[in-house]
Every structure is written in structure tokens, then in C-alpha cells.
């Protein structure tokens, strides 16, 4: 391995000069800089990460804590992770992948060992066991998702309350008076992952304001589960003409089932999904949807966490505004035509 000392010798300068060329923390004459950079290139030098971390007490690593569950909103998680990795690289950092499995202990370990300079937590629950730790280590951290008490923390998330409201508004404007919501699996609500509950609240609040009837049902992502949920919905509210689907995995089953029952989309019923755009355009009917801006969430999380690494303080709650894209799955309610 090439060391900084060898580069210094090769360029005919001292080690500290090479270091300063690399970090830019002191002015270096153009001539010297050029010579050093040339040596670095010729020797193929890469600074040793451990030495650097030891001397500077900065590892240039961000830890990303992902849920271990592999059954829910996978594409979203994946896209966030990739956005985090990409954005981190743009800030000269790398990403350490932690699974939720280790729980709060992982936070202690990573912080205690100086492995990472900062952490990003995904899939934060309302009352998350990792939060107290995070608050009092004082390490830079950003949550993707919003806990019950975000005080002293930085959070990014899609504004799910507004998302719910937006879906209802869209359907209400089209004249739908009976709306059914296909929610996430019951387990998601039981875990108190805030986004599902906030979406529900947003839906309900706006429905009440607009005088629209709303039925909210959790639903697993399988065909069979969707079939059961749908028939129960139509039993209770035969006049349902609008659907909002939050569970990605339930989208295809729902469309299939509607088709099977001879209900045309969007002529007889309208469907609005809350899902990544890619999912919306790949479905059998191009779906009117509110996008989950996974990429942007990941990107903002890194930007916010980098700001904290650079020393900016203070709590902060950043809600990304929902955007609804009208595609082919929503139209005027039959009665209103």
C-alpha cells in the first residue's frame, strides 16, 4: 500500500503538505499542489481510512439502519437506500448498512466505536426504542419517518396527512361520495409506524370536511386477502365508487378483482394509489397516484445529516409535499356523469 509519506517523498515535500493538499485546510501554492497531485496519481495513492479516522476522529461514514422485514414496501426501502448511498458519495461519505435486528444496541456500538459519523434511521416507529439513545449521544442523526415525539431530532418524511387529504380531495372533486381505503397490513398499524396512521387521519379529516363517506380497512398484500377485503367493503358500502390503496402489494390484486367483477376502471370505479411512480405506470391500468418520493427522501436525509455533521444544530421536521398525478384510473363518479 502506498502511504502519504511515500507520496511526500516522491513529490519532495513534507507529509503535512500532502495532507493539506488533500484536505484543502491550508493554502498551498499552485506549483506544489500540482506536483503533489501528480505524485498521487502516479503512485495511485489512496489515504488509509483507518488512519484518517483515528487522526481526525471522523470516519466519513454514515450508518443507515434498515428494517429487517423483507415483506413490506420493499421497493421504497431499496430506492431510499440507493439514494442515500449515491448522495452520501457526493458528499465524500460512504454508507454502512445496519439491519434493524440489532436494535438499539447497534446505535450504541456504532456511536461508541466511532464507526460512523452520523446515522439515518428508516422505518421509525412512533415510540422507537432507539430514539432516547440517539437524543443523548448527540450524534448527528436523521429519521426517515416521524416518531410521536420528534423533539430534539431531525426528521424527513412525505407529508402523509396531506397525502391522505389529497387523495380524498381528488376523488371528491370527481363526484365520488363513497370512498374505501385499502390500507397497509394490520401489522403495520400495530407496530405504530406513523405513516400509516397519519395517512388514515388525513383521509378521515378531509372526508369529514368534504362530507364524503369513508371506509378504512387494513389489508395484506396477497390476492386472497384483497379478495376478502373487497367483498367485505362492497357488502358494507355497495355504493362505493372510489378506492384509495396504500398497500402497494394490494394494487394488482384489486385491479384484477374489479375487472373480474365487471367493474370498469375508471368508468365504474376510480382508484388512487399511494406508491412509487414506477409501480403506478406498470399496473394494468395506469394509476392516478400520489408518488412516494423515495429518492428525494433519501437524498434529503443525507443532506440534513451532513449539515449536522458540519455543526448545524437544532431540531427540524421536514415534510415533503405530496404530488398527485392523474393517470387513467380515476374519473367522474358514475352518478355524477
Is residue 5 near a copy of itself by the rule CB under 8 A?
A: no
Candidates 24, 29, 41, 112: give the one binding a copy of itself (CB under 8 A): 112
Residue 127 has a CB neighbour count (10 Å cut-off) of: 11
Q: Using CB under 7 A as the criterion, what x/- string covers residues 196-235 for binding DNA?
A: ----------------------------------------
Give the nearer residue to a copy of itself in terms of CB position, either 51 or 129.
Answer: 51
Give the nearer residue to DNA in terms of CB position, either 58 or 323.
Answer: 58
| CA dist., res. 26 & res. 301, Å (int) | 30
Q: Point out which span in 24-32, 142-150, 282-290, 315-323 binds a copy of itself (CB under 8 A).
A: 282-290
| CA dist., res. 127 & res. 193, Å (int) | 9
C-alpha atoms less than 13 angstroms from C-alpha of 202 in its C-beta half-sphere: 22
Given DNA, a copy of itself, none, residue 25, with its beta carbon under 5 to 8 Å by kind, binds: DNA
Give the nearer residue to a copy of itself in terms of CB position, either 78 or 208.
Answer: 78
DSSP 165-225: HHHHHHHHHTT--EEEEE-S-HHHHHTTBHHHHHHHHHHHHHHHHHT-EEEEE---SSHHH
Is residue 48 near DNA by the rule CB under 7 A?
A: yes
Give the nearer residue to a copy of itself in terms of CB position, either 94 or 209.
Answer: 94
Is residue 104 near a copy of itself by the rule CB under 8 A?
A: no
Q: Can you tell me which residue has the cell 483507518?
A: 50
| CA dist., res. 319 & res. 175, Å (int) | 29
| CA dist., res. 79 & res. 295, Å (int) | 6
CA distances from 59 to 36, 42, 194, 310 (A): 24, 26, 32, 13
With a CB cutoff of 8 Å and minimum separation 6, the contacts of 131 are 124, 147, 149, 153
Is residue 5 near DNA by the rule CB under 7 A?
A: yes
Give the nearer residue to a copy of itself in terms of CB position, either 53 or 324.
Answer: 53
Given a copy of itself, DNA, none, residue 208, with its beta carbon under 5 to 8 Å by kind, binds: none
> Which of 331, 308, 333 is closest to 318 using CA atoms?
308
* Binding region for a copy of itself (CB under 8 A): 1-2, 44-54, 57, 59, 61, 64, 66, 68, 70-71, 74-75, 77-79, 81-82, 85-86, 89, 94-99, 101-102, 108-109, 112-115, 221-223, 249, 252-253, 255-256, 259-260, 278, 281-284
Amino acid at each position: 500500500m502506498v502511504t502519504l509519506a511515500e507520496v511526500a517523498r516522491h513529490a519532495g515535500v513534507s507529509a503535512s503538505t500532502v495532507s493539506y493538499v488533500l484536505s484543502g485546510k491550508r493554502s498551498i501554492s499552485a506549483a506544489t499542489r500540482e506536483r503533489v497531485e501528480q505524485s498521487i496519481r502516479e503512485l495511485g495513492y489512496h489515504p488509509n481510512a483507518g488512519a484518517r479516522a483515528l487522526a481526525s476522529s471522523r470516519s466519513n461514514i454514515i450508518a443507515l439502519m434498515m428494517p429487517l422485514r423483507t415483506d413490506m414496501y420493499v421497493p421504497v426501502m431499496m430506492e431510499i437506500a440507493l439514494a442515500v448511498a449515491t448522495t452520501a458519495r457526493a458528499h465524500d461519505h460512504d454508507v454502512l448498512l445496519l439491519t434493524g435486528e440489532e436494535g438499539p444496541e447497534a446505535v450504541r456500538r456504532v456511536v461508541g466505536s466511532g464507526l460512523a459519523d452520523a446515522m439515518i434511521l428508516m422505518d421509525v416507529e412512533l415510540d422507537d426504542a432507539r430514539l432516547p439513545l440517539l437524543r443523548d449521544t448527540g450524534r448527528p442523526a436523521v429519521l426517515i419517518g416521524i416518531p410521536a415525539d420528534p423533539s430534539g431530532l431531525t426528521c424527513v418524511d412525505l407529508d402523509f396527512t396531506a397525502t391522505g387529504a389529497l387523495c380524498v380531495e381528488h376523488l371528491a372533486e370527481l363526484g365520488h361520495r363513497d370512498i374505501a381505503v385499502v390500507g397497509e397490513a394490520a401489522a403495520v398499524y400495530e407496530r405504530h409506524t406513523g405513516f400509516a396512521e397519519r395517512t388514515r387521519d388525513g383521509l378521515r379529516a378531509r372526508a369529514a370536511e368534504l362530507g364524503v363517506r369513508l371506509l378504512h380497512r387494513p389489508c395484506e398484500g396477497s390476492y386472497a386477502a384483497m379478495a376478502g377485503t373487497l367483498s367485505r367493503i362492497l357488502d358494507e358500502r355497495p355504493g362505493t365508487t372510489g378506492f384509495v390503496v396504500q398497500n402497494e402489494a394490494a394494487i394488482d390484486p384489486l385491479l384484477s378483482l374489479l375487472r373480474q367483477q365487471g367493474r370498469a376502471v375508471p368508468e365504474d370505479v376510480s382508484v388512487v394509489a399511494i406508491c412509487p411512480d414506477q409501480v403506478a405506470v406498470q399496473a394494468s391500468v395506469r394509476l392516478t397516484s400520489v408518488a412516494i418520493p423515495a429518492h428525494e427522501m433519501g437524498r434529503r436525509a443525507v443532506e440534513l445529516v451532513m449539515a449536522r455533521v458540519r455543526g448545524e444544530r437544532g431540531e427540524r421536521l421536514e415534510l415533503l409535499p405530496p404530488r398527485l398525478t392523474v393517470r387513467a384510473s380515476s374519473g367522474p363518479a358514475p352518478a355524477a356523469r
